[in-house]
Structure 1
Amino acid sequence: MNNKMYKKRAGTSGIQGQLYETKLISLIYFRLTHDDSVQQFSLATNRDDIGEFDDVCFIANIKGFDKPLAVFLQAKHRENDKLLTFTSETDLAKYFSSYLKIRRAFDPSGKDMIFERKYDDTECFFIMYTTTKGSPKNKMYEGAFAECLKELIGTGGCCTQPSYTDDDLDLLCKIVMKDQITTLATQLAKFICDESDSEMSTNNDIMLRYHVILALNVFDVSEIQPEGHRIASFRQDFFSNNEEFIVLIKNILCLEVLKKQKSEKNNGQSLLLKFLSEPSDVTTLSKLIGSVLTYKNDKLELISESITDDLQRQLDKANVPQATVYEAAELAAKEYLLSLKLKVPASFGNKDLTIRGDNKRIEKRLNYLTTKFIELLKQSEPNDIVTIDESLGDGFLKLNGGIACAVGNILVFDENSRFLKFTDNCESLGDLAKTWYETLIVKIENLHEYKLHVKVKNFPKLSFERGEYDMSIARDFYSKVLFYTNQATQNGVEEILREEIDNQPCSDVHNFKIRSELIFLKYHDEIQRLWLIPKVGSYLTEKSKVFENAVANAMSEPLMGVIKNMHNIKNKILTFNENAINRFAMQHDGRFIGTIIVSKSCVLTVAKVEQYLGSKNHVVLDLEYILKLSLKNYNTLCKELTNTTKDHIFIIVCNLFRDLRDSDNRLENIAKAFDGKQIIVITNKTSVDIMKEYFFQNSNVWDDDRNGFADLSVESQKKFLAAYNIKFLGKYVSLDVIIDDESATAGLIDKKTFYKLINDETVRIGPQYDYSNYAKKFNINRRVSRTKTQEHKFYDVKDKVLETFYDLEDDVVLISGQGLGKSTLLRHLILTTAELDPKVWMVRINIRYKLKSSLRYDTTEKILTLVCQSALCDESFLLVYDEGISSHIPVRKDVLCYEIDRPSKFYVSRKKNKHLKESPVEYNYSKALCSCRNCHRRALEIKFFLHYYNRGKLILLIENFDERIPEHKEIVDEYRKRKHRIWITSEAPPSSNLQLWLGPSYKIENFSPSEQDKYLTLLHQDAHYTIAVIGGEIKILS
């Protein structure tokens, strides 16, 4: 792959996200090519391996700036009004990890057009770009590039930077160290597997920083061997060390070593089947990692492509905990690692000072270091902090012959100050270190009272405390992250781009204005094509001609061709299956010329006629567009139409819903221009009479009302599902997200729904998760623990932090007293889970109140009625099956059918105070809606709900559960059979029977002191709340 190409990430967003991204890319590329201050640039989209900020990436040389500007942008098109903030530690960690990936990608020796330079030689910005609101606590960005960025990417509100606390910096420093530790362990694994016969190099930043820690905690390091190196072997206690970062080294190292060894097993598939039958079997898993399985992105994956997809699905469902994977990897790799004898340089671990040369040279170097130290310490009083920074020069700081080689021998970590200090134990020092130490003791009074604060990037560490370098990276992140909030929606971005295209200078202004629509469509169409190319993309640069080609193509076509092209580009999504086209043709013996076709959806009928005509020379002309033309362009078009040969077929579309009498003259002239031509008129019912008046030669009028989703071709059905959104539980979601079973699609999208979607009407399914009085910004993620039990062997869960309903794999029972936060926790988890997974349907039932009004019908009726009422927030539903009807139940509410365990007959009616008299419909084993007259929306919602119910895809939240009430247990049993995920809250302590039935319960832990402080701080920072101490107690005053 050459430097003009880049690797693209797999997968794309939904259609709304796609349009937002492609229109935004179109706008940014247009501005980059037309801004005189931009000298050269390279632009990419959906770039792989850089994390979250991958939607739009570009680097540009800007006049007046020494460093090039690099932008890495994540575009978020949201319909809600949520504030854009780093709402959780998880969010912050995710974006910071992406920042680190991008930072590492810069490499002067590389050949990538964006990254072929040092990070510090580039002005980088990491942009979260969204239509949502920004937090008032964020500060305005007023840096040197503020105006430049606004000109290149701005479409709306201002640009801000997030505020942060010292706790936030601590979190980021911890992530920096984890990132470094992961790199360190990976480098070790590479050396062990690929280069173990050679001597390990410490000539890289990571090894230089951590080699002393490795010698203290990971390796036993020998004395210098005759060959000049030392021998390092793994410590036995390394594998039992519980320090967080040492455990991380062990886990990553074991996994990477197994991955690189790539051993093969003849009985791999049988071992895999054994493991899938018992996913907690660490011993079996240890035999599979590296040979059959690998661990990637926190997930076990199959290595061999020959193993069936079914086994991969089973593996996904097993959901093996990360701790189990790490334990198995250690079991597999430990014996091998303990057997190794690795060659390391003499300087490794700083067992002694490292100074090359003969005795005279060594003495001279020690004198230099002593003199330098005396100068430094004289500048400070005892008990003062001596700063060691880059200004002291490489000669004094380096590992060989500098003070870096004293870390771990003469210089040790001070637990109190968290800085370096001079050791008071000279007995353990090496010969050179002891010699220098004794010199320093003599020449520097009170040596042990001095502390050294190191502010050097590549300097050995003695602890996993945050260092100055780690802090500098965290602060750099906050200085480079920008929030572009209140930006234009995808429609708004399109309007801005159209306007900027219109404002381009052109010699034929009138002609350019009408053709600018086609320019936009051709230009955006090409950007979409480039956006959709998989795997590898080409950089767009100042030399690319995407926009210029769109202009040239649009300006060279006759006006009639312009209108035809606009129609073709706008309507590429729809084609019909062969049966639908044949049925359409047979309806009128294929005689469409000279007809007026009346349609509920002109778009669908036009697509069908075009498909039938195939390669015949035809043009689609939209009257709405023609009637809006300027007089000059209108006259040009009429002249072109008059001069067109008779072999053309014209499809005239009129989908207007207004009185056309004010356009009499234009309609008359257009009709004259079509005189003697082959025309087909497609219109809605509103305009059919006026079409008959002006196009009287089209005497044959007929209806086209047989357009349904099932009539589309398979490919068009997929495109339709991806392109059209419904408002699902309050959020706009593309249909392909919530309908993942193709066999169910036709039943869910009936003709009425299909027409609504085609005509861009909003289709709503289910209620909105609306907790407008719930302040998410005050939420502290709650911790839960599993109740201990001796009788049953359950794995204990302690202090598990809950962010979504997916954080616990079991059916969950939450036990706590009244008013201790169960409902608040559920509210929060509903919102966070819905944000994470827009297709999930969560049904919340306060079972204590729902069952107060007893139903007189069968238990199964109660169960499905109860959950359907709760899911749709509507009490007007009653579910009845045939045996109930035979008992002459008076039906006063909407009735829908449900499943029982045998074939049965179901009825649906909306008749009041009358017995059901509908004809029975046979169903078998699955619930389906028969009829729901005069309420299409409600019927559609019920069908979607049953689609979720039949496939076990609900999350059922049952509050105030009481195991002593039989009906409560019956409800839970019914939904457990369906494999729905269930969360139950209860105030009653669990019995042993309940433990056996649902598994062990969880309790919500109280706030820790730090969580209390965090919560009160959040309240205190909000203008609506005041924290006061009254009578010795903390009070919250609103």
Structure 2
Amino acid sequence: MNSTSYTKRAGTSGIQGQLYETKLISLIYFRLTHDDSVEQFSLATNRDGIGEFDDVCFIANIKGFDKPLAVFLQAKHRENDKLLTFTSETDLAKYFSSYLKIRRTFDPSNKDMIFEGNFDDTECFFVMYTTTKGCPKNKMYEGAYAEYLNKLIGTGGCCTQPSYTDDDLDLLCKIVMKDQITTLATQLAKFICDESESEMSTNNDIMLRYHVILALNVFDVSEIQPEGHRIASFRQDFFTNNEVFIVLIKNILCLEVLKKQKSVENDVQSLLLKFLSEPSDVTTLSKLIGSVLTYKNDKIELISESITDDLQRQLDKANVPQATVYEAAELAAKEYLLSLKLKVPASFGNKDLTIRGDNKKIDKRLNYLTTKFIELLKQSEPNDIVTIDESLGDGFLQLNGGIACAVGNILVFDETSRLLKFIDNCESLGDLAKKWYEKLTTKIKKLHEYKLDIKVQKFPKLSFERGEYDMSIARDFYNKLLFYTNQATQNGVEKILREEIDNQPCSDVHNFKIRSELIFLKYHDEIQRLWLIPKVGSYLTEKSKVFENAVANAMSEPLMGVIKNMHNIKNKILTFNENAINRFAMQHDGRIIGTIIVSESCVLTVAKVEQYLGSKNHVVLDLEYILKLSLKNYNTLCKELTNTTKDHIFIIVCNPFRDLRDSDNRLENIAKAFDGKQIIVITNKTSVDIMKEYFCQNGMCMCRNVRDDDINGFDDLSVESQKKFFAAYNIKFQGKYVSLDVIIDDESAAAGLIDKKAFYELINDETVKIGNRVLNNRISINNSVLYDCNNYDKLFYIDRRVSRTKTQEHDKFYDVKDKVLETFYDLEDDVVLISGKQGMGKSTLLMYLSLKTKELDPKVWIVRINFRDQKDFSLRCNINEKIVTLVCQSALCDKSFLLVYDEGISYHIPEKDSSFTYYVSRKKNEHLKESPVEYNFSKANLCSCDPRALEIKFFLHYYNRGKLILLIDDFDERIPEHKEIVDECRKRKHRIWITSESPPSSNLQLWFGPSYKIENFSPLEQKKYLTLLWKFEIQFQNLYSIQDIEGIVDLMQTEHKEYLRAYVLFLEFLKAESMAEGFDFPYEEHYNRFKTKFGLCENTIPYFPDDITPRQLYEIAREFDENALNTWALFNLSLSLSA
């Protein structure tokens, strides 16, 4: 691969996302090529290896700017107007990790067209680009590049940046540390598996920073060997150390070593089967990890391609906890690692000072270091902090002969100040370190009282504390992070691009205007082609000429060719199978010329006619498009048609449109132009009489036959075309647009699922809905909380922790402590029982997990069973069929239907029931031995084209294959059918989550295993919950108007004592908000006044009870808002409370 190309990741699967990306790329590339201030640029899409900001990447040299401009953009197309927030720690970590990957990729030695050079020498921006609303608390970006960025990539609202706090920086610093540790462990693994006799290098930045920590916690390091190096071997206690980052080193190191070794086990197939039957078996997994299985993106994946599809499918469903993977990797790698003897340089671990040369040179260097230190320390008094920064120069700071080699011997970590200090005595020091220490103590009294604050990037660390360098990276990320919200949708981007193409200067304006649609189509078609190329992409540059070629091709064609080309580009994916074409030929007796074909879908019939004609010279002309041409272009086209030779076949398409009857003169002229030509007219029933009037009468009997075309079903398409159709078309599945290929993974079942009505709707870009929206479920909590839950932007959700303790009756289960739940896949039980007292947020937890699970896995169908909607099952069917009906009614948008399970017997439907009735057939399924009945949509249905029919088909498809996640939020053990539902669905391998009041009954735990108890909020979580609530509830119109809040203190005297804690937390909230806006809020003054008024010490301000529920906390906060803050509005505070 050369420097003009790059490695691509797989593209977006959904058609809406694909179109959004390709149209956005088309627009940005168009603007880059038509902006005179852009001297040169390189643009890529779906760039592999750089994380989230990879949808659109470009670098450009711009006149008037010293540095090149680089933009790394993630495009998020959303059909709703949901608010874009940046509060999730998981999301923040994901985007920051992408920033770090990009930062690392920049390198002067990298010959890539974007990444050649230093990161600091390029003005990089990381852009969240979305159609959704922006957070009102974001601040406007007004930097030097603001206007230019808006000009290059903007399609809607202005550019903003998130505000941040020290807590946000602290989180990012931990991510920096994790990223560095991962890189460190990966480098160690690479060196270990290199199998060369060379020494480990400490010349790279990561090893330089951490080699002392490695020597203290990971390796035993020998004295210097005769050859000049040391020997490092792994410590036994390295594998039992519980420090978070040491554990991370161990986990990554073991996995990476196993990946690189790839030892092969015998009988892989049987080992895999054993592992799949018990995914928590560490011993079995340890024999497979690295050689057969790998761990990537928090998921177990196959390395070998020789495994059967059945095993692959089972592996995809296996839920292996991360802890199990790491434990297995350690078991597999530990013995090998302990046996290693690694060569490391003499400087490794700083066991002594590293100064090269003879004794004279060493003394000279020690004297220099001593003098330099005396100068620094004289500037400070004992107990003062001495700052060590880059201004001191490389010679003084370096590892060989500089103070960096003193870290870990003379300089040690001070637990109190979290800085470096001098060691108290020199007994354990090496010879050179002891010699320098004695020089220092002779010259400097009370040496051990000085502290050193290190603000140098390339410097050894003694702890995993965040440093100034880590903080600078975190700040840099926030300073380079831009939000482009309220941007145009993919249709809006197309409209903007078309307008900008139309506005291009051209000598023949009228001719250019009519051809501009073809220019756009050809141009976007080429961008799509480049976007779809797998694995390796070529950079688009100022020399690529993609747009210029589209213009040249469009302008050189006759007008008739323009219309033909537009049709060809728009209708690429539709081809029919051989059987459909043969039936079509028989239907027309081989005489299709001179026929008016009446079709329910003109698009499909046109595609079929074109395929039938094959290589014969034909042109497809859209009558509506022709009739709406400007007079000049209309006359030009009629002249071209008249002069066309008779060997052309013209396919005239007439979809109904409003002004068809008002175009008599033009229709007559067009009919005359076709006189004597070979034509085929394709229309629908609405317009057939008009087509007969002009093409079968008026003395021009060009069409002698009128025939219907009904060979237009989904199953009439070719297999390849069906696949393309699945990838190209979306349905609205549980409120989210997903492509059909995501939710239909069984091609053999596809034809039975997509009926004609749905097929036509999809072809015509109409919305087809399947299943209830995840949020469309009523939950048993108070009205205000219910309002917030149905408006997810206003849901004040804090990550919830669950714990489980196994009992003697349930010894096969394992203990779980403070497990944070993000999705329904975080627990591997087939039935999960969640318990908690009333108000603990069980329903809200299920809703949050539903949303997050759908984000992770769009194809899953999540069904909340609602027993209140259960119908009267008076029809003759057994309990299993009642279960199917209840689950189906819970899953679908419209519940006004009945299912009747037929075996050739007609059931009487009561006249009083106006519901639609659908018949379901039953058959044995050998693959489901415990519950061998499979349910299918019966051919006996008379209303198969009703919208609910499609939903029911999809539901039965999911139900038969065990692909549902069932949520039962009001389980009643007193009703036998409730347990029967769980038992039947459990047999079918559906995931099931049940909630129960705490403590759950013994019956529930006997049936479903020990429950997971929702943990109470910690004091920190209580604070976070209230802070989130206030952030959404209160919009400050002017923070400078915060002048006097003593009115709240007065209110406290007559209100609940819980308000005291709410008041203190509210003061902290105001302080943080003020700091974010650059306003100095007098926190201490108000806090001290509050304590004085109530005679309180810090430790007597009451906390919320440990067992307070989220609902109680919510109600306290609401009451505090309504009483205290509305009262406070009289005291010069300009704020507005949300509804």
- Fold conserved (TM > 0.5)? yes
Shorter-chain TM-score category?
Answer: over 0.9
Q: Secondary structure at the match of 1:6?
A: strand
Distance verdict in 2 for CA 1:219–1:710, change over 3 Å: same
Whether the 8 Å contact between 1:54 and 1:73 is mirrored in structure 2 is: yes
State the shift of 1:208 in Å.
0.6
State the shift of 1:239 in Å.
1.1
Distance verdict in 2 for CA 1:777–1:138, change over 3 Å: farther
Equivalents in 1 of 2:34, 2:117: separation in Å? Answer: 26
Aligned to 2:968: 958
1:739 aligned partner, one-letter code: I
Q: Secondary structure at the match of 1:952?
A: coil
Aligned to 1:199: 199
Equivalents in 1 of 2:863, 2:198: separation in Å? Answer: 62
Kindly indicate whether residue 727 of structure 2 is the aligned counterpart of residue 725 of structure 1: no
Aligned to 1:838: 858
Give the 5 Å matches for 1:86-165: 86-165=86-165
Equivalents in 2 of 1:852, 1:12: separation in Å? Answer: 41
1:578-626, Cα deviation, whole Å (9 max, x unpaired) = 1111111211212222222222211111111111111111111111111
1:928 aligned partner, one-letter code: F
TM-score, length-scaled by structure 2:
0.86
1:1019 corresponds, among 1020, 1029, 1051, to 1029
Give unpaired runs (5+ residues) of structure 1: 904-922
My pick for the range that moved more, 18-27 or 351-360, is 351-360
Distance verdict in 2 for CA 1:394–1:487, change over 3 Å: same
Aligned to 1:908: none
Identity of aligned residues (%): 85
Equivalents in 2 of 1:664, 1:652: separation in Å? Answer: 16
State the shift of 1:1025 in Å.
8.8
My pick for the range that moved more, 137-146 or 3-12, is 3-12
2:732 aligned partner, one-letter code: K
State the shift of 1:644 in Å.
0.9
Distance verdict in 2 for CA 1:495–1:888, change over 3 Å: closer
Whether the 8 Å contact between 2:902 and 2:922 is mirrored in structure 1 is: no
1:617-654, Cα deviation, whole Å (9 max, x unpaired) = 11111111111211111111111111111111111111
Equivalents in 2 of 1:473, 1:1022: separation in Å? Answer: 29
Whether the 8 Å contact between 1:196 and 1:342 is mirrored in structure 2 is: no
2:774 corresponds, among 769, 777, 789, to 769
Kindly indicate whether residue 984 of structure 2 is the aligned counterpart of residue 974 of structure 1: yes
Distance verdict in 2 for CA 1:976–1:272, change over 3 Å: closer
Whether the 8 Å contact between 1:404 and 1:460 is mirrored in structure 2 is: yes
TM-score, length-scaled by structure 1:
0.94
Equivalents in 2 of 1:714, 1:887: separation in Å? Answer: 38
Equivalents in 1 of 2:59, 2:774: separation in Å? Answer: 41
Equivalents in 2 of 1:8, 1:466: separation in Å? Answer: 34
Equivalents in 1 of 2:267, 2:723: separation in Å? Answer: 41
1:474-525, Cα deviation, whole Å (9 max, x unpaired) = 1111111111111111111111111111111111111111111111111111
Kindly indicate whether residue 949 of structure 2 is the aligned counterpart of residue 939 of structure 1: yes
Kindly indicate whether residue 811 of structure 2 is the aligned counterpart of residue 797 of structure 1: no
Equivalents in 1 of 2:635, 2:309: separation in Å? Answer: 63
Whether the 8 Å contact between 1:200 and 1:345 is mirrored in structure 2 is: yes
1:927 aligned partner, one-letter code: N
Kindly indicate whether residue 800 of structure 2 is the aligned counterpart of residue 782 of structure 1: yes
Q: Secondary structure at the match of 2:707?
A: strand
Q: Secondary structure at the match of 1:807?
A: coil
1:302-352, Cα deviation, whole Å (9 max, x unpaired) = 443334343333333333322222222222222222222222222111112
Aligned to 1:806: 825
Q: Secondary structure at the match of 1:441?
A: helix
Whether the 8 Å contact between 2:875 and 2:900 is mirrored in structure 1 is: no
Aligned to 1:287: 287
2:1008 corresponds, among 998, 1001, 1017, to 998
Whether the 8 Å contact between 2:837 and 2:999 is mirrored in structure 1 is: no
Aligned to 1:918: none
Equivalents in 1 of 2:409, 2:827: separation in Å? Answer: 47
1:35-56, Cα deviation, whole Å (9 max, x unpaired) = 1011011111111111111111
Equivalents in 2 of 1:606, 1:271: separation in Å? Answer: 54
Distance verdict in 2 for CA 1:36–1:566, change over 3 Å: same
1:107-153, Cα deviation, whole Å (9 max, x unpaired) = 11121111111111111111111111111111111111111111111
Distance verdict in 2 for CA 1:211–1:956, change over 3 Å: same
State the shift of 1:752 in Å.
1.7
State the shift of 1:898 in Å.
4.8
Kindly indicate whether residue 1057 of structure 2 is the aligned counterpart of residue 1032 of structure 1: yes
Kindly indicate whether residue 772 of structure 2 is the aligned counterpart of residue 753 of structure 1: no
Whether the 8 Å contact between 1:899 and 1:924 is mirrored in structure 2 is: no
CA RMSD of aligned residues (A): 2.4
Give the 5 Å matches for 1:26-45: 26-45=26-45
Whether the 8 Å contact between 2:597 and 2:682 is mirrored in structure 1 is: yes
Whether the 8 Å contact between 2:263 and 2:291 is mirrored in structure 1 is: yes
Whether the 8 Å contact between 2:141 and 2:160 is mirrored in structure 1 is: yes
Whether the 8 Å contact between 1:960 and 1:987 is mirrored in structure 2 is: no
Give the 5 Å matches for 1:170-181: 170-181=170-181
Q: Secondary structure at the match of 1:805?
A: coil
Distance verdict in 2 for CA 1:292–1:860, change over 3 Å: closer
State the shift of 1:546 in Å.
1.1
Kindly indicate whether residue 832 of structure 2 is the aligned counterpart of residue 823 of structure 1: no
State the shift of 1:865 in Å.
2.6
State the shift of 1:782 in Å.
0.6
1:587 aligned partner, one-letter code: Q
State the shift of 1:777 in Å.
5.0
1:54-97, Cα deviation, whole Å (9 max, x unpaired) = 11111111111111111111111111111122241111111111
My pick for the range that moved more, 963-972 or 477-486, is 963-972
1:931 aligned partner, one-letter code: N
2:567 aligned partner, one-letter code: H
Whether the 8 Å contact between 2:624 and 2:657 is mirrored in structure 1 is: no
Give unpaired runs (5+ residues) of structure 2: 776-788, 926-931, 1037-1047, 1063-1115, 1123-1139
Aligned to 1:917: none
Q: Secondary structure at the match of 1:31?
A: helix
Distance verdict in 2 for CA 1:878–1:629, change over 3 Å: closer
Distance verdict in 2 for CA 1:341–1:860, change over 3 Å: closer
My pick for the range that moved more, 658-667 or 30-39, is 658-667
2:1057 aligned partner, one-letter code: G
My pick for the range that moved more, 520-529 or 994-1003, is 994-1003
Q: Secondary structure at the match of 2:968?
A: strand
Distance verdict in 2 for CA 1:898–1:511, change over 3 Å: closer
Equivalents in 2 of 1:414, 1:776: separation in Å? Answer: 45
State the shift of 1:531 in Å.
1.0
Aligned to 1:987: 997
Aligned to 2:917: 895
Equivalents in 2 of 1:834, 1:129: separation in Å? Answer: 21
2:774 aligned partner, one-letter code: Y
Whether the 8 Å contact between 1:864 and 1:898 is mirrored in structure 2 is: no
Whether the 8 Å contact between 1:283 and 1:328 is mirrored in structure 2 is: yes
Equivalents in 2 of 1:827, 1:281: separation in Å? Answer: 32
Equivalents in 2 of 1:944, 1:315: separation in Å? Answer: 24
Kindly indicate whether residue 621 of structure 2 is the aligned counterpart of residue 621 of structure 1: yes
1:704 aligned partner, one-letter code: D
Q: Secondary structure at the match of 2:70?
A: strand
1:413 aligned partner, one-letter code: F
Whether the 8 Å contact between 1:221 and 1:231 is mirrored in structure 2 is: yes
Distance verdict in 2 for CA 1:582–1:787, change over 3 Å: same
Aligned to 1:877: 897
Q: Secondary structure at the match of 2:231?
A: strand
Q: Secondary structure at the match of 2:816?
A: coil
1:344 aligned partner, one-letter code: V
Distance verdict in 2 for CA 1:25–1:230, change over 3 Å: same
Aligned to 1:333: 333
Aligned to 1:1008: 1018
Equivalents in 2 of 1:273, 1:782: separation in Å? Answer: 34
Equivalents in 2 of 1:1031, 1:924: separation in Å? Answer: 60
